[in-house]
């Protein structure tokens, strides 16, 4: 996502050559960069028990795949501060008043002669329980836990978040190992495949975005991340495709009034990170005050007849509006989202 070193675009760490690999390590297969608009196909995805036959299985190391995605997302979020600024938007919610959102944009070279436009937003918040505020438990319960379902709930244009497949704790549990030298690592790792269905005003058709979602929180600091990567579900086994809510190019889910509507498949890749940041030192060596920082970066292509130039004009305002939409939803759902942390995150509680 960043030019130059392009830390955020790195694939998961390369595995050793077979002669140097431990006996239990799977064979290495080249994989495309993860944080790109080019969708991952079935051969690039970690195996799941639901595709049971050997012919349907892929040999990808669980640890390097999941940790590679999380580390790439974290590196990208770190890079946002260096992106060219596009100004600050003051976007208002119905409950909490206006929120200040910094918007940034970066053009990224992709392959030979290709480019992707990445848009980012950064907002800072006071932890609290009043209108336009949220406690740390509400941030985590609303964004990290059940992310796709909650995005459907607080985003007016999203009418279906179809859960196609989720890796359960039994599969991800083998990822546990020591973290970095400072003890930091990823915990409560969740991973799933989802389809996000978006309403588009006529005469354009609605959009469906198939994504792989990976989420986790840091083990020793108040920080969590959600990474979403586009998928080519047409390359998956028929048993998985049968779980889709699109049949013959039309919506086949349960949302009232949408059945049979024509759909166009789009793509997006995104990273969201929420963390607590110190804003000063306390007295007598005590910890000072903290703020909550919500960072988000995305590249997208809605596909169909919608020109990319038109899409690019709309993205900065759209991603900025998500901030008050989420905080208004938290106010309406206050109490419930806290409880969802205890009820379990997407995919279980593995550590990386």
Residues 139-160 pLDDT 10s:
999 999 999 999 999 999 999 9
39-83: pLDDT as tens digits = 999 999 988 888 765 455 556 788 888 989 999 999 999 999 999
Given a contact cutoff of 8 angstroms between Cβ atoms, the answer to whether 209 and 196 are in contact is yes
**Closest C-alpha to 326, from 172, 123, 182:** 123
**Residue 39 carries which DSSP code?**
P
Is 35-42+54-351 assigned to CATH 3.40.50.12780? no
Cβ(47)–Cβ(59) under 8 Å? Answer: yes
Which of 90-94, 172-176, 230-234 bottoms out in mean pLDDT, i.e. has the lowest?
172-176
For 333, how many CA atoms within 13 A lie in the half-sphere containing its CB?
A: 22
Q: What is the mean pLDDT of the chain?
A: 83
| Structural tokens at position 318 | 């759209």
Confidence of residue 171 (pLDDT cuts 50, 70, 90): low
Pairing of strands 263-265, 250-251: unpaired
Tokens of 288: 């000072």
- pLDDT per position as a tens digit, 335-351: 676 666 555 544 445 66
Query: What's the average model confidence in pLDDT over 110-126?
Result: 91
What number of other Cβ atoms are within 10 A of residue 311's Cβ? 16
Contacts of 63 (CB under 8 A, 6+ apart): 174, 175, 177, 352
The tokens describing 26, both together, are 């799977």
Residue 173 pLDDT more than 90?
no
Predicted pLDDT of residue 274: 98
């Amino acid at each position: 996502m960043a030019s130059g070193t392009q830390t955020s675009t790195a694939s998961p760490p390369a595995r050793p050559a077979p002669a140097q690999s431990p006996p239990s390590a799977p064979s290495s297969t080249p994989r495309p960069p993860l944080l790109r608009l080019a969708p991952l196909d079935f051969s690039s995805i970690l195996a799941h028990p639901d595709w049971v036959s050997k012919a349907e299985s892929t040999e990808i190391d669980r640890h390097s795949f999941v940790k590679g995605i999380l580390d790439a997302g974290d590196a990208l979020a770190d890079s946002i501060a260096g992106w060219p600024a596009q100004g600050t938007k003051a976007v208002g919610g119905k409950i909490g008043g206006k929120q200040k959102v910094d918007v940034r944009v970066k053009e990224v070279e992709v392959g030979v002669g290709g480019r992707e436009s990445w848009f980012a937003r950064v907002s800072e918040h006071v932890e609290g329980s009043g209108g336009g505020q949220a406690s740390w438990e509400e941030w985590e319960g609303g964004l990290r836990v059940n992310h796709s379902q909650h995005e459907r709930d607080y985003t007016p244009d999203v009418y279906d978040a179809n859960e196609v497949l989720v890796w359960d704790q039994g599969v991800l549990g083998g990822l546990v190992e020591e973290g970095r030298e400072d003890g930091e690592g990823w915990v409560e790792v969740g991973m799933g495949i989802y389809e996000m269905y978006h309403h588009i005003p006529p005469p354009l058709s609605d959009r469906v975005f198939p994504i792989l979602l990976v989420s986790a929180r840091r083990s020793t600091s108040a920080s969590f991340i959600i990474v979403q990567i586009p998928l080519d579900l047409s390359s998956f086994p028929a048993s998985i495709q049968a779980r889709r809510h699109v049949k013959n190019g039309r919506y086949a889910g349960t949302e009232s009034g949408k059945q049979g509507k024509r759909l166009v498949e789009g793509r997006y890749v995104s990273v969201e990170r929420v963390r607590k940041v110190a804003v000063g030192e306390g007295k007598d060596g005590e910890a000072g005050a903290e703020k909550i920082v919500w960072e988000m970066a995305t590249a997208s292509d809605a596909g169909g007849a919608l020109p990319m130039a038109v899409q690019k004009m709309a993205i900065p305002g759209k991603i900025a509006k998500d901030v008050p939409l989420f905080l208004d939803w938290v106010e309406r759902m206050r109490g419930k989202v806290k409880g969802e942390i205890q009820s379990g995150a997407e995919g279980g509680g593995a550590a990386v």
